[in-house]
A and B are shown apart, each in its own frame.
Chain A
Amino acid sequence: MRFWVPWLLLCAGCGALEFHPYELRGADRDRHAASLEQLRRDAHEGPLRFAVLGDIQLFLDDSASAMKDLERHDVDFVVQLGDLTEFGSAQEYDWVARLLDRLPVPSFAVIGNHDVLGNGADIYRRAFGPTFFSFRHAGSRFVLYDSNSREYGFPGNVPDLEALRDALEPELGIAHTFTFSHVPPGHGDFDASLVEPLEQLQAERGISISFHAHIHDFRDEVRRGVRYFVADSLDHRNYLLVTVQGGVVEVERVFY
């Protein structure tokens, strides 16, 4: 009967065995920390360029095309704006992680409302790291946070404005700050009591661009002097390409 043992190990190794849809398993750990390390290693001169991707959910093949198209552009890194998954399951997290792995550059991802479902938030924290995450690169600052207020029943601290206030402290040598969250302020799934404080805070701290997703349709507007973008979901087959050259920030919609 021993003959089945190696097969069993092989199957476990290739992920054919699944013990539960929301299991916390596999080698994918702390992707954000690894991405940050890669970003430090690959630091270079010249303009800063990064891509911003909308909801993935059920659009894996469209997302795969986005990864392919991104090879045409010389980006430093990629930020995905949440809803990596539809069901928040471990298998979907894995499919998306493998797609992001196709990129030659580091990637970061915000947590979306679908990613929280079931045990999804734990899978996210295991695979990517904390849901609040900020880093500096090439004289700019990037802050990713959780704005899925409805998922937690509008507790009053999602998004975490205290953490945001700290992360957005003025800092020497930082010319631009970009923030990223899934649900845009003003949407019904964003805590209504926190919309004004958030927009006020972002205005005070001179945020260059506030990026969001969730509604699957592109928006570009200015509130209190801050530019707010909502990226299309990836079934619309486009993403945002951001170029920072000195004081100038340019955003282009790239269709593929």
Chain B
Amino acid sequence: MAARWHSRALALALLLLALDVRAEGPPDERPWYVPDHAALQLAGSIGLLSAGPGWGFLDDALDAQLLLGWAPPAVAGEDFLTVTLKGQWHPFRLRWSGWSVRPLTVGLLLSYTFGDEYFVTLPDRYPDGYYWFKTGLRPALLLGGSVGRPVPALGLRNLEGYVELVATDYRLVHFLRNPVTVETGLFSLALGARLRF
């Protein structure tokens, strides 16, 4: 359980960092490591809710986020805590009367789940190579899109809502081997918001 409290402290620190840096001057004067957005997400296989700081590059065509996710026992049957690194590429941007629409997002994520029941290196009881995957480390492919507009009243350059289809490793592997059975089960759904400041 100790690991869980540590990670909760980390979560809080990340969120405070994300909120705190807003005061540190205009975007172009910030050092690269200061986050320029924060993300809040519902579901997507990394928690009921996940949140954390993000960094935009190349005029926000590329995004990276570090998210801490939590699913409480009430909805997931158990306490799940994850930390996720996410990268996204939005190749197109359409502008229309104050709105900016990014119809396509492709991305990758790597999620780590805290807890002794999940392994990143194979425990001693197994011979080498006994399992070819790691239950504590989950890669996934992302497909999505977003819509946003500036909200100066809140000090936001852009407030975006996004939808993501998340294809975790086990869904992808099963889909490739069993397209008939898996069908649309290839994806789980994530809904979220990005606050660019």
Contacts and interface: CB of A to CB of B under 8 A. Distances in A.
A11 interface: yes
Given A18-B43, A87-B135, A95-B181, A25 B76 contact: yes
Given A19-B45, A92-B170, A24 B177 contact: no
Interface in B121-139: 123, 125-126, 131, 133, 135, 138
A87 B76 contact: no
Interface in B51-85: 71, 75-78, 80, 82
A61 B175 CA distance: 10
Given A8-B191, A19-B47, A60-B178, A117 B131 contact: yes
A132 B180 CA distance: 33
A150 B118 CA distance: 16
A208 interface: no
Contacts of B126: 150
A61 B178 contact: yes
Contacts of B135: 22, 87-88, 117-118
B181 A86 contact: no
A21 B166 CA distance: 12
Contacts of A118: 113, 117-118, 135
B174 A95 contact: yes
A21 B138 contact: yes
Contact of A18 (B45, B77, B82, B118): B45
Contacts of B185: 91, 95
B80 A19 contact: yes
A118 B133 CA distance: 12
A177 interface: no
A89 B47 CA distance: 15
A24 B181 contact: no
Interface residues of A, number: 36
Contact of B182 (A59, A60, A88, A154): A60
Contacts of B179: 61
Contacts of B177: 58-61
B170 A21 contact: yes
A95 B47 contact: no
A19 B43 contact: yes
Interface of A: 4, 8, 11, 16-25, 58-61, 63-64, 86-89, 91-92, 95, 99, 117-119, 122, 126, 150-151, 153-154
19 contacts: A11-B189, A16-B187, A19-B45, A19-B47, A19-B75, A20-B45, A20-B46, A20-B80, A21-B170, A60-B181, A61-B179, A86-B173, A91-B171, A95-B174, A95-B181, A99-B181, A122-B78, A153-B123, A154-B125
Given A20-B113, A117-B131, 12 more contacts: A11-B189, A17-B188, A18-B189, A19-B76, A20-B80, A24-B77, A58-B178, A60-B182, A91-B185, A117-B135, A119-B78, A122-B78
